[in-house]
Amino acid sequence: MTDKQRARLAMLQATLGVLTDHAPLYLTNKALTAARLSLAALVADLDPTAATQQAAGAAPKPGAVKQKTKARLASLTAETAAALLAYADEIQDISLHTDADYTEKGLLRATDNDLPRIAKNIHTRATELLTPLKEQGVTQQELTDLAAALAAFKAEQAAPRVSTADTKAQNAALAADLRTATALLRNRVDKYLVRYRRPQPGFHTAYQSARQIINTAARKEKPTEAPA
């Protein structure tokens, strides 16, 4: 929530407080009572302590566990690559040697785009050569574990995009609630309150005061002009 949005929420809360405190004055005004209840529901959703806001704040940060997943993928890829490298030297296959010439440290330094590409290629070559690689102790389970680590990494790689989409949706919903609440006051409650300006001046004045938005957004101080 931005500073301007917080200022608007503070105004809505103050206005709701005035309407609630003076509710006995307009018990027979069903439209104003209904508007107050609608405003209360919107303010409850906008309140930073509300369940929806808490859920948004408690969401895991994008990439929070990716380092652990990346380390596992790099480790398993390096182990399989080592077997492929040894076999490449044994049969003097330069192409296979190039494909398998990776260390765990180098894989850890690889970008998030390069690592899954390398791991997939290592998995593909090892699957094709599983029979001769069995002499070095490579098993189908090892390749299954590598495939699972690769899938887990790719799933986490997509998580930031999902989180970003969720955040945008939450921000859009928050902005929509603010617009709805503001429109409710401007198009309904402000007009209803005209009827109380003379018979209930205290109520009307308190409402008008609460409706003022105090802009808490930070402002840059203007440079002080040097005296002439």
Residues 88, 143 within the same domain? yes
CA distance 48 to 8: 13
Residues 82, 50 within the same domain? no
Please report whether residue 76 resides in a domain: yes
CA distance 196 to 204: 6
Residues 129, 172 within the same domain? no
Q: 43 lies in which domain range? A: 3-61+162-210
Residues 139, 181 within the same domain? no
Residue 131 · residue 153 · CB < 8 Å: no
Residues 75, 151 within the same domain? yes
CA distance 43 to 65: 35
How many Cβ atoms from other residues are within 10 Å of residue 37's Cβ?
11
Q: Give the range among 18-22, 68-72, 181-185, 217-221 with minimum mean pLDDT.
A: 217-221
Please report whether residue 23 resides in a domain: yes
pLDDT tens track for 6-34? 899 999 999 999 999 999 999 999 999 99
Which runs of consecutive H residues, i.e. helices, occur in the chain?
A: 3-21, 30-46, 51-58, 66-91, 94-100, 104-109, 114-128, 130-133, 140-184, 190-192, 201-210
Per-residue pLDDT band at 171 (split at 50, 70, 90): confident
Please report whether residue 223 resides in a domain: no
Please report whether residue 219 resides in a domain: no
CA distance 228 to 226: 6
Most distant CA pair in the chain, distance: 100
Please report whether residue 33 resides in a domain: yes
The structural domain count of the chain equals 2
CA distance 124 to 143: 9
Residues 139, 123 within the same domain? yes
Residues 203, 134 within the same domain? no
pLDDT of residue 166: 64
Residues 89, 143 within the same domain? yes
Residues 46, 8 within the same domain? yes
pLDDT tens track for 63-84? 444 788 999 999 999 999 999 9
Give the single-character DSSP code of 25. G
Residue that terminates a domain, selected from 143, 159, 175: 159
Q: Give the range among 69-73, 160-164, 176-180 with minimum mean pLDDT.
A: 160-164
CA distance 113 to 146: 17
Q: Does residue 220 register a pLDDT over 50? A: no
Please report whether residue 45 resides in a domain: yes
C-alpha angle 118/115/112, rounded to 5°? 150
Q: What pTM, to 2 d.p., does this model score? A: 0.50
Residues 154, 167 within the same domain? no
221 Ramachandran zone, left/alpha/beta (phi>0; psi -120 to 50): beta
What does 144-168 look like in DSSP terms, one character per residue?
Answer: HHHHHHHHHHHHHHHHHHHHHHHHH
Residues 89, 145 within the same domain? yes
Please report whether residue 32 resides in a domain: yes
Residues 72, 93 within the same domain? yes
Average pLDDT over residues 111-118: 90
pLDDT of residue 157: 80
Using only the alpha carbons of the chain, give its radius of gyration.
32
Name the token pair of 209.
């005061």
Please report whether residue 218 resides in a domain: no
